[in-house]
Amino acid sequence: MTVLDRFLKYVKIETTSCEENECCPSTPGQKKLGALLAEELREMGIADAEMDADGYVYATIPPKGTTDKPAIGLIAHMDTSDAVKGPTDPQMILNFDGNAIMLKNGTVIDGFEFLKTLEGKDLVVTDGNSVLGADDKAGIAEIMTLCERMCRADSPNHGKICIAFTPDEEIGHGADRFNVKRFGADFAYTVDGDELGELEYECFNAASCRIIVKGISIHPGSAKNQMKNAALIAMEFAGMLPPSERPEHTEKYEGFYHLTGMHGNEEMAELKYILRDHDTDKFNEKKETVKRISSYLNEKYGAGTVEILLQDSYRNMKEIVEKHPEILERAEKAFRNCGVDPIIKPIRGGTDGARLSFMGLPCPNLSTGGYNYHSRKELIPVQSMEKMTDVLEKLILM
C-alpha cells in the first residue's frame, strides 16, 4: 500500500478530539483508528503491536543484523483539530499549476507564497468543509509505510524501531498516559511538523487559562446601580490584554495570548485562553499579567467577580533536547541524504515530544510535508509524503 493510499484511508476516519470529554481517548473514533493501525502492524508481522485500554498504539520492530545501534522511536498522533468540524472528504489536484485553488464549496486557497513552489505536484485538499487531517494522519501514513518497508524480508539491517500513535494531542493530553518504558526507545521523533524539511527542537512554554466572571442579573428597567453584567466585564478583561500580543500579530519567537472561546450573559461569562512564549521569563510574565487584571477587576467590581483557572500544559523542550545534539545531527543528515534542506525553526505550537522530553525521552519534531494545518485550506503534496517516508528510512538506517 502506498503512503497516499494509507493517508486517504486514515483521513476518512473521524478522530476529532474533544476537550470537554474527560475520558481517554476523548472521542471513540480515535480507538477505531487505533485498532485499525494495530491490526495493520500485526499483518506486517509486528507481533507485539497493540492498542492499550487508553487508545495508545505501540509496536516494536526488532533489530535486524546488528545490536550496536540505538533504539529509535517514531511517534504521531491520531486525533485531529476541532478548528473546523465536519467529516473529511479528500480531493486530489494532479499536476498543480501553482495558481489559486477553488475548493468544492467555493473556498479559495490563494495568497500563500508556498503555492508557487508546489507547481507540478499532486496535492490532497478537502472539499472546503473541514480540516484535511494531515496533522497528523500524514505522519501516521509515513510511519506506517516505513514499517512496511522495514518488515520486508529484504529490508536492510537496522536497530530496534519503536512505534507509537497517541490520542488527544490536539487538546494537550497526548503524553498523559504514554508508557515510556513500554515504548522502549532511547530517543524519538514526533512526525508532526508542516513543510517538508522542518526540524524543530524548540517549542513554546504553554498554559491554558479560563476566566470565569460572575455577575448580577436584574431586569434592565431597574438595573441602575444594581446590575453587574458579567459579559461586559469579560469584554473588559479581554480589552486589557495587549492587542499586539495576539497570534495574528506575532511570529518566530514572539509569544501571545490567544482567545480560543467565549460565552456568557449578564449572570455568568467565560473566556478561554491559551498563553504561549518560548522565553520562560516572558511566559511567567504573561501568567502574572492575567492575574493582575483579575485582581484589578475584583477591586473594581467586588471580590470574587473574576476567577482565574491557570494550568501549565508543557515546557520548551529545548532545555532537554539541546543536551543531545547527536539526535538533531542524525535528522539533519537524513534530510540532506534525501536531497532536502533542513529547516531548523522553533515550533509555534507544541507536540507530544515537548512533554515526552521531560519524561526522559528526548523527542524533537520532524515535518510531515503539509501546509495550513487546522484550516479548511489545509493541503499536502503527495510527493512530500513520499519523500518524508524516505527521510524516516534514512534516519533509521544510519
Question: Looking at residues 131-143, what average pLDDT do you find?
Answer: 97
Other beta carbons within 10 Å of 292:
11
Q: Is the pLDDT of residue 204 over 80?
A: yes
Once rounded to an integer, what is the mean pLDDT over residues 278-283? 95
Q: Which three cell numbers stand for residue 325?
A: 545534539
pLDDT at 153 over 80: yes
Distance CA 128, CA 146 (A): 30
For residue 307, pLDDT beyond 80? yes
Model pLDDT for residues 211-262, shown as the tens digit of each residue:
999 999 999 999 999 999 999 999 999 999 999 999 999 999 999 999 999 9
Distance set, CA 91 to CA 3, 110, 193, 313, 381 (Å): 16, 17, 22, 35, 12
Three-state DSSP at 164 gives: strand
- The answer to whether the beta carbons of residues 313 and 208 sit under 8 Å apart is yes
**What is the per-residue pLDDT across 155-196, written as a single tens digit (0 to 9) for each?**
999 999 999 999 999 998 999 999 999 999 999 999 999 999
Distance CA 90, CA 8 (A): 7
* Element (DSSP H or E) covering residue 22: none
Percentage of the chain with pLDDT > 90?
94
DSSP state, residue 381: E
**pLDDT band, very low/low/confident/very high, at 309 (cuts 50, 70, 90):** very high
Beta carbons within 8 Å of 8's beta carbon, 6+ residues apart = 90, 124
Q: What is the DSSP string of 238-294?
A: HHHS-GGGSGGG--TT--EEEEEEEEE-SSEEEEEEEEEESSHHHHHHHHHHHHHHH
pLDDT digits (tens, 9 = 90+) for 103-117: 999 999 999 999 999
At 40-54, the pLDDT tens digits run 999 999 999 999 999
DSSP, residue by residue, 58-106: EEEE--BS-SSS--EEEEEE--B--SS-S----EEE-S--SS-EE-TTS
Q: pLDDT value at position 350?
A: 79
DSSP string computed for 358-380: HTT----EE--S-BSTTSTT-BE
With beta carbons less than 8 A apart as the criterion, state whether 137 and 126 touch: no
Confidence of residue 348 (pLDDT cuts 50, 70, 90): confident
User: What is the residue-wise DSSP string for 173-213?
Assistant: -TTTT--HHHH--SEEEEE--SSTTEEE----EEEEEEEEE
Backbone angles phi, psi at 233, to 5 degrees: -65, -40
169 is catalytic: yes
Q: Which of 14, 40, 54, 79 is catalytic?
A: 79
The mean pLDDT of the chain is 96
**Element housing 139 (H / E):** helix 134-150
Catalytic residue among 54, 142, 148, 169: 169
User: In the structure grid, which three cell numbers stand for residue 336, read together?
Assistant: 540532506
16 pLDDT exceeds 80?
A: yes
Give pTM, 2 decimals. Answer: 0.89
For residue 99, what pLDDT band results from cuts at 50, 70 and 90?
very high
Which domains can be identified in the chain, with CATH numbers? 3-202+316-397 (3.40.630.10), 205-314 (3.30.70.360)
C-alpha–C-alpha distance, residues 357 and 246, integer Å? 28
